[in-house]
Structure 1
């Protein structure tokens, strides 16, 4: 089943899914960082949005 491209926000607001482009865009804008930086942080600290927010 294809992704629903009308989605603008993550389904689980506590986790970051870097495999969904709309989530990468959402979280990058929310944290005010580049998508590449978001991916680096997720790789290092995991997918918890709360943890990533503390690392910024």
Structure 2
């Protein structure tokens, strides 16, 4: 099931892993897994652009 609709927090450009629909949105947007997304957020914080840069390096 694809989740193309942005969750309510997506406009803030921060990632909240506590919301399942938001986590699903960001994993699809960054073409990654929830495990990698969580590792990226833990490494660089919840700012989407920082997480994206981190994931591109790995």
TM-score, length basis structure 1: 0.78
1:26-51: CA deviations, max 9, x gaps? 00000000011100100111000010
Offset of 1:8 from its aligned partner?
Answer: 4.9
Deviations along 1:1-54, one digit per CA (max 9) or x if unpaired, are xxxxxx852424310001100011000000000011100100111000010111
The TM-score with structure 2 as length reference comes to: 0.75
Q: Say what the alpha-carbon RMSD is for the aligned residues.
A: 1.6
Distance in 2 between residues matched to 1:45 and 1:30, nearest whole Å? 18
Runs of 4+ in 1 over 6 A off after TM superposition: none
Structure 2 unaligned residues grouped into runs of 5+: none
Paired residues, what number?
A: 50
Which segments of 5 or more consecutive residues in structure 1 lack a partner in the other structure? 1-6
Trace 1:1-56 onto structure 2 (pairs within 5 A): 8-13=6-11, 14-56=13-55
